């Protein structure tokens, strides 16, 4: 405490950090990966997806929003939490239409990569096969809500980084989806392909057109190493 640092204990490992950091930030800096989906380091944490659920002093909470405090005891890489997280990923897979073989994001998709890392081979829940329309009206960007996981990254990026508020949530529960700030469709908004909101989607829901399949199979982002490996490697340096 004397040097302005605080210590938290993550799975019995001492993690030193500063007051004001979240548990996610403290762990990232120490090379401990906490699985996450809606979190992005450039955005204000949303706390939507619950994939980063940890246990703090025995109680479940979000790692991305919970502030680190001296002496906190955190459970992260436990069988219970891994199963909980895999169940969230499974539910996201069956609620939408996530067909990896023809998705432009394949190999670079965070949802797919989390499924690999968390050990989802085939979802154990029944598929819902909802009917969802694609909005390809914009000349440079399309939004395919079949692949949307309601993480809200586009909402936060467009509002807080681009200053345009092109995207927003509408509806509740199963009906919740991303709406665009226009009378009809995406082409009527101020969105451009250079916007942060256009390339921050973790899945293939918002994709810049004519950029797909440029990296060959085997060399894509998550082909050789699991998601989170970059964070885990950073600690060993």
CA distances for 34 relative to 24, 26, 85, 99, 174, angstroms: 7, 11, 10, 26, 27
Q: How far is the CB of 128 from other proteins (least distance, A)?
A: 9
Spatial CB neighbours of 146, under 8 Å, sequence gap ≥ 6: 96, 97, 98, 130, 132, 134, 205
> Residues of 145-159 as b/e, b for ≥16 C-beta within 10 angstroms?
bbbbbbbbbbbbbbb
Joined together, the tokens standing for residue 25 give: 């930030």
Q: How far is the CB of 237 from other proteins (least distance, A)?
A: 22
Nearer to other proteins, 2 or 224 (CB): 224
Q: Identify how many contiguous H helices and E strands the chain contains and give both numbers.
A: 5, 10
Nearer to other proteins, 112 or 158 (CB): 112
Nearer to other proteins, 65 or 87 (CB): 87
Distance CA 85, CA 94 (A): 15
Nearer to other proteins, 53 or 106 (CB): 106
Q: Indicate if the alpha-carbon torsion angle 220, 226, 228, 229 is positive or negative.
A: negative
> Considering only CA atoms, which of 42, 93, 92, 79 is closest in space to residue 64?
42
- The contact set with other proteins (CB under 8 A) reads 97, 99-103, 106-107, 112, 115-116, 121-123, 126-127, 129-132, 217, 223-226
Q: How far is the CB of 106 from other proteins (least distance, A)?
A: 4
Distance CA 174, CA 46 (A): 19
Q: How far is the CB of 118 from other proteins (least distance, A)?
A: 11
Q: How far is the CB of 171 from other proteins (least distance, A)?
A: 18
Say if CB 92 and CB 50 are below 8 A apart: no
- The CB-side HSE value for 205 (13 A sphere, CA atoms) comes to 27
Nearer to other proteins, 67 or 226 (CB): 226
Nearer to other proteins, 35 or 45 (CB): 35
Q: How far is the CB of 169 from other proteins (least distance, A)?
A: 23
């Amino acid at each position: 405490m004397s040097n302005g640092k605080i210590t938290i204990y993550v799975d019995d490992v001492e993690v030193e950090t500063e007051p004001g950091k979240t548990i996610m930030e403290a762990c990232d800096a120490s090379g401990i990966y906490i699985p996450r989906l809606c979190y992005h380091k450039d955005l204000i944490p949303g706390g939507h997806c619950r994939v980063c659920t940890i246990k703090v002093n025995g109680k479940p909470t979000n790692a991305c929003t919970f502030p680190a405090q001296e002496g906190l005891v955190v459970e992260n890489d436990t069988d219970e939490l891994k199963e909980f997280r895999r169940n969230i990923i499974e539910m996201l897979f069956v609620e939408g239409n996530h067909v990896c073989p023809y998705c432009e994001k394949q190999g670079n998709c965070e949802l797919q990569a989390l499924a690999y890392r968390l050990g989802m081979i085939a979802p154990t829940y029944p598929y819902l096969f909802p009917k969802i329309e694609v909005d390809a009206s914009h000349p440079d960007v399309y939004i395919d809500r079949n692949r949307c996981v309601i993480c809200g990254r586009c909402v936060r990026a467009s509002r807080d980084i681009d200053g345009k508020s092109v995207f927003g949530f509408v509806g509740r529960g199963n009906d919740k989806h991303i709406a665009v700030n226009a009378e009809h469709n995406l082409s009527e908004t101020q969105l451009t392909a250079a916007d942060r909101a256009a390339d921050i989607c973790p899945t293939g829901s918002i994709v810049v057109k004519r950029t797909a399949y440029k990296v060959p199979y085997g060399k894509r982002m998550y082909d050789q190493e699991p998601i989170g490996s970059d964070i885990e490697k950073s600690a060993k340096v």
